[in-house]
Amino acid sequence: MATAKEEGAVPDFLRMDADVDSIPAKLDRKGDWYGWPSTDVKPVTLLDDLGRTVRIRTPVMDLEGLITPTNLHYTVQHFDVPDIVPTDKWSLTINGEVKTPLNLSFDELRRFPGRSVRTVMECSGSDATFFEYFQGKGPKPSRTQECMILSASEWTGVPLATVLNEAGLTDKSLFIRAEGWDHGLPATAAEGTQPFFYDKGLAVHKALHPDTILAWAQNSQLLEHLHGAPVRLLVPGWSGNWSVKWLRRLEVMDHMPDCWYHYQFYYYADSPDASDKELITTIGVKSIITNPNDDTERMSAGPHMIRGYAWSGAGTITQVEVSVNGGETWAAAHIEPPNDRFMWVRWSYRWEAGKAGDYTIMSRATDEVGRIQSREPRYNNMRKNFSAIVGYPVKVK
Ligand SMILES: Nc1nc2c(c(=O)[nH]1)N[C@H]1C(S)=C(S)[C@@H](COP(=O)(O)O)O[C@H]1N2
Ligand SMILES: [Mo]
């Protein structure tokens, strides 16, 4: 009997042993596929020597709705992905400036009342190549082709405040050093720097915000290893690097700990030696256009829905505007509900593309605290947190 393969019915990339990366981005479809599962939407991935996915970039431009499916949610980690610690071997130490140091097992952590938080998560390195593009030193990046370090999920866990309250805070409990068990040495570390565990020192005011949680689930399922299982910190509104994965210790301190990723990596300044380095915390106010996607060069005359996302780390989005003439004039876009704190929003603008000619499409977001998305990026030595308005030239014919 002929096998399916010999008959040519099963393409190579659908075989069980196929390399995930060999799946073509767009299937060469024949006939009517309407309603059938699609492989059109696919992340960009990096595999390790064993063929396991260790990095994911999200196809933001190709998705609908607000929640990024977990398998498409980006992942970033600075060191090698650490070994898995099974939940029954895992515990969380809470010590330092607390009344009662704690050591909580996974089951004990889950005995506290839970909380779910929907939040956009953006890596500080997202869109970094736009800095070179704006300076005329690089090609225009394609968010469609390269995918993004930007996603949104519903996370479930327990408020960090609940656990800190159990340990008991004092006047001296000012910073919470969250430590993962991934260990390494950054390539750019100064000579003599010793390998260390990834850590961040969260200021107590943010640590006590009820939406800052110790998360054990993402999008209704227990955390996957790449996202920090069994438990990670989740700091909504702040740059992704604060949300420490593979959490094993919370050290409460009376001063800000000297974490390497504070003033050696996630900071704003003109140079590494600057005396006025500013720690990156809250993410910017930003919007991106997803339709038409950023590879679009031509559009027909007639009605088009220009759509996209907008978000801010500092408050909800209060306004999104669209310009089709490179920022000369702006018109209000419609904000599509829901518009939740910490989440991104969908927005849309119906554009009647009339006369043939050249247009430049842009979007501009404003947030609750009055921040307006800027035309010029905030240049900084580490190329972090690009959030400026990008113009997309299109020809209408
Ligand atoms: N332990 C640990 N946590 C970490 C990191 C890391 O390198 N180690 N990277 C941070 C960075 S830079 C980002 S953007 C987010 C990404 O989270 P995700 O991989 O679940 O999307 O994790 C953060 N938490
Ligand atoms: Mo990041």
Atom 11 of ligand 1: nearest residue by CA position: 241
- pLDDT value at position 38? 61
Beta-bridged to residue 157, according to DSSP, are 115, 215
Pocket of ligand 1 contains residue 217 by CB under 6 Å? no
18 has a pLDDT exceeding 80: no
Least confident window among 41-55, 152-166, 192-206, 281-295: 41-55
- pLDDT value at position 48? 83
Query: Which ligand is nearest the CA of 75, by number?
Result: 1
Atom 6 of ligand 1: nearest residue by CA position: 77
Atom 16 of ligand 1: nearest residue by CA position: 76
The preferred substitution site among 53, 222, 232, 241 for testing ligand 1, maximizing ligand atoms within 8 Å of CB, is: 241
User: Helix or strand or coil: residue 351?
Assistant: strand
- pLDDT value at position 220? 97
DSSP state at residue 190: P
Going from the Cα of 71 to the center of ligand 1, the distance in angstroms, rounded, reads 16
Pocket of ligand 1 contains residue 82 by CB under 6 Å? no
The token pair at 11 is 């393409």
Instruction: Tell me which amino acid residue 285 is.
Output: V
User: Helix or strand or coil: residue 250?
Assistant: strand
Pocket of ligand 1 contains residue 77 by CB under 6 Å? yes
Is the CA virtual torsion 198, 141, 151, 308 positive or negative? positive
Atom 21 of ligand 1: nearest residue by CA position: 75
Residue-wise pLDDT tens digits, 337-351: 999 999 999 999 999
Identify the band that residue 46 occupies on the pLDDT scale cut at 50, 70 and 90. confident
Identify the band that residue 49 occupies on the pLDDT scale cut at 50, 70 and 90. confident
147 versus 92: the higher-pLDDT residue is: 92
Residue-wise pLDDT tens digits, 262-312: 999 999 999 999 999 999 999 999 999 999 999 999 999 999 999 999 999
Going from the Cα of 124 to the center of ligand 2, the distance in angstroms, rounded, reads 5
Pocket of ligand 1 contains residue 232 by CB under 6 Å? no
Query: Which ligand is nearest the CA of 77, by number?
Result: 1
Pocket of ligand 1 contains residue 246 by CB under 6 Å? yes
Identify the band that residue 30 occupies on the pLDDT scale cut at 50, 70 and 90. low
45 has a pLDDT exceeding 90: no
Instruction: Tell me which amino acid residue 74 is.
Output: Y
Identify the band that residue 54 occupies on the pLDDT scale cut at 50, 70 and 90. confident
CA distances from 51 to 18, 20, 77, 283, 380 (A): 10, 8, 18, 34, 36
Atom 4 of ligand 1: nearest residue by CA position: 244
- Give the DSSP letter string of 92-125: EEEEESBSS-EEEEHHHHTTS--EEEEEEEE-TT
Going from the Cα of 207 to the center of ligand 1, the distance in angstroms, rounded, reads 17
- Cis upstream peptide for 195 (omega within 30°): no
**Percentage of the chain with pLDDT > 70?**
90
Q: What is the pTM of this model?
A: 0.91
Region 35-58 average pLDDT: 79
Main-chain phi, psi angles of 342, to 5 degrees: 80, -15
Pocket of ligand 1 contains residue 227 by CB under 6 Å? yes
- Quote the radius of gyration of the chain (alpha carbons, Å): 23
Residues that place a CB less than 5 A from ion ligand 2 = 76, 123, 240-241
The preferred substitution site among 81, 245, 267, 383 for testing ligand 1, maximizing ligand atoms within 8 Å of CB, is: 245
Going from the Cα of 337 to the center of ligand 2, the distance in angstroms, rounded, reads 28
User: Helix or strand or coil: residue 7?
Assistant: helix
Q: Is 216 exposed, middle or buried (0-12, 13-18, 19+ CB in 10 A)?
A: buried
